[in-house]
Structure 1
């Protein structure tokens, strides 16, 4: 069944990663909304929507869409998702679902009360290399997950003001990696984190399942050099290496037991499928049509905001933060 869809946000990210995937989905794009009417009109013209709005509440009242894709800045996700669900529409937001854990809980409460779907676009959960890695971790052959190690970096375009989460390196950029750590290893039991200037972090994690992890994050590298390295260690001789979200090798002793390596060329290292954008949007539509909870639902993704706030609390206090006692 085609889903009557509206989109809120028509900036650079949505024009490159969201709208180009819509033709692959069971949707009819009815309207585009953006505070900049020119951007909204451009996206509507390019992707077949007939209505253009600058006021999202008016769009919701007049169009009454089945679902809304929200691809604005992080500061707008909480309110827009709540407004969409209050108007009777399922909601998909880009990451993060809110800028605070309390905000994410408010979104979750609205989803529960309305009975509607709210999903967060944590793309790495849908990248084939990580999906295959997760399946391997859960297999009997892999044994107990023991160690997760992640190195992740960006270029120097973020500020170092921890009071401004919408432009903060840890939340705006690294939240994908924080969510990935939970996806691969489960819920976090405790955190100890240190930072030099809120642009470089060293994070130690202990997971509820017994595994431990280290996450190194930096905004002092260069955007032209892609840096994302993940090492996953299970039982004796069992380990997985993933680079840049797209290439994966699984070892069983000296044997390569499995791998994932796309055999095509992709512009500037990006692919809608390999990076997870296509998969997350497909999951949102399938969950609506199948009347089920999607992967990366608000109830699942809000835990990543809790982890983010635990890291911030640890860097401020210099103490280990226990998840059970963290409010």
Structure 2
């Protein structure tokens, strides 16, 4: 039994889960989501015992630990949520901890970025195959409800196929020198560490929408603002605009999805595009049925012939206007839990997608201004 959305008991199973990492992010965004998803918190773990104990008491865990291996040995768990940081070299600590959980017979959910190298992703892949347990990466942009709606619209018959996608995100592309220091010499470089942490947002959204690209090319200016161009076997072109220098408010992220219909579907009048503003407002834009210079009335056409807009309202305490839902946290944790309960593969946030995202990060070291080939997956 668990509590459903309406605050009443529902006859539904939950996964038995523990959390490794009791800090700011997990406090704000992960633990609170368990009340809405089929997750029962059993135990917490943190290097600081007082933190682990306080989080267990606050969120309903019966036990707390400072050593995750001890917790894995003593507790009866289906899954572990891992929210940890970087090691002294600036590399995410997820791969080793996730492998420990897999070998203990637990599914693992890990925050992004999952790793700094494809080799580390491959180590998790191998442990996942050997254990029969899955690893999900918390790529929340894949699960943002506005992005999921945009994907649904983009693959509708009415849209006419995708021609081009543009994603905007306010990140800095590091210099080639810094990339080499981090990736080749394994030095801890703050700009590259931050790039690893945040590049995965637009890249994950692109991978969920379009699959894996075959080539990439990028360029940057002196402050690190730049653009990355990806080409796909499907003939789609995607660009990620990394807009260093913009204000970090007023709508920092924007998505354009442009259809093929304006050219292949019978001329300009059939064109379509989708806009996602700031992960919130979705507009599905169609050409109005106008001539040029001879139409005195703009307000014509039926609702299914003109632009449609989806935007939540905030006047009441709805579930749909809570950040845990809008920002994708509920959707990703719910998907992870239900994939376990239903014994099925993950739909998004897979290690295969993580490998692709990490490969793209690693390929920046090849430098700007050149076409860079991308592999389909591990050799």
Instruction: Give, in angstroms, the shift of residue 142 of structure 1.
Output: 1.4
1:23 aligned to 2:75?
A: no
- For 2:366, the equivalent position in structure 1 comes to 313
- For 1:322, the equivalent position in structure 2 comes to 373
- For 1:70, the equivalent position in structure 2 comes to 82
Residue deviations 1:67-107 (CA, integer Å, cap 9, x gap): 00011125111111111001000000111222211111211
1:228-239 alignment runs, 5 A limit: 228-235=253-260, 236=262, 237-239=271-273
Residue deviations 1:137-163 (CA, integer Å, cap 9, x gap): 2222212311111111159xxxx9431
SS of the equivalent of 1:79 reads helix
Q: Partners in 1 of 2:108 and 2:222 — Cα distance?
A: 35
Describe the shift of the 1:22–1:191 C-alpha distance in structure 2 as closer, same or farther (beyond 3 A).
same
1:285 aligned to 2:334?
A: no
Instruction: Give, in angstroms, the shift of residue 224 of structure 1.
Output: 4.0
Instruction: Give, in angstroms, the shift of residue 311 of structure 1.
Output: 3.1
Residue deviations 1:107-162 (CA, integer Å, cap 9, x gap): 1121122111111111111111111111122222212311111111159xxxx943
SS of the equivalent of 1:294 reads coil
Describe the shift of the 1:202–1:154 C-alpha distance in structure 2 as closer, same or farther (beyond 3 A).
closer
Contact 1:94/1:122 (<8 A) preserved: yes
- For 1:201, the equivalent position in structure 2 comes to 226
Contact 1:190/1:207 (<8 A) preserved: yes
1:302 aligned to 2:355?
A: yes
The count of residues paired between Structure 1 and Structure 2 equals 320
Alignment gaps of 5+ in structure 2: 1-12, 87-91, 183-187, 263-270, 289-304
1:180-219 alignment runs, 5 A limit: 180-196=205-221, 199-219=224-244
Q: 2:252 aligns with which of 209, 227, 248?
A: 227
Q: Partners in 2 of 1:80 and 1:70 — Cα distance?
A: 8
1:260 aligned to 2:310?
A: yes
Q: 1:106 aligns with which of 123, 129, 142?
A: 123
- For 1:276, the equivalent position in structure 2 comes to 328
1:126 aligned to 2:160?
A: no
Q: Partners in 2 of 1:165 and 1:70 — Cα distance?
A: 24
Q: Partners in 1 of 2:195 and 2:223 — Cα distance?
A: 7
- Whichever of the two has the greater Rg, that structure is 2
TM (normalized to structure 1)?
0.90
- For 1:10, the equivalent position in structure 2 comes to 22
Q: Partners in 1 of 2:189 and 2:197 — Cα distance?
A: 7
Contact 1:146/1:211 (<8 A) preserved: yes
Residue deviations 1:158-207 (CA, integer Å, cap 9, x gap): xx943147762321112111111122222111111123468433211112
- For 1:249, the equivalent position in structure 2 comes to 283
1:77-96 alignment runs, 5 A limit: 77-96=94-113
Instruction: Give, in angstroms, the shift of residue 266 of structure 1.
Output: 10
Q: Partners in 2 of 1:215 and 1:323 — Cα distance?
A: 16
Describe the shift of the 1:82–1:129 C-alpha distance in structure 2 as closer, same or farther (beyond 3 A).
same
Instruction: Give, in angstroms, the shift of residue 38 of structure 1.
Output: 2.5
The structure carrying a bigger strand percent of its residues is 1
Q: Partners in 2 of 1:288 and 1:19 — Cα distance?
A: 18
- For 2:292, the equivalent position in structure 1 comes to none
Structure 1 stretches of 4+ with a deviation exceeding 4 A read none
Alignment gaps of 5+ in structure 1: none
Describe the shift of the 1:165–1:249 C-alpha distance in structure 2 as closer, same or farther (beyond 3 A).
farther
Q: Partners in 2 of 1:52 and 1:288 — Cα distance?
A: 24
CA RMSD of aligned residues (A): 2.5
Stretch of structure 1 that moved more, 240-249 or 254-263: 254-263
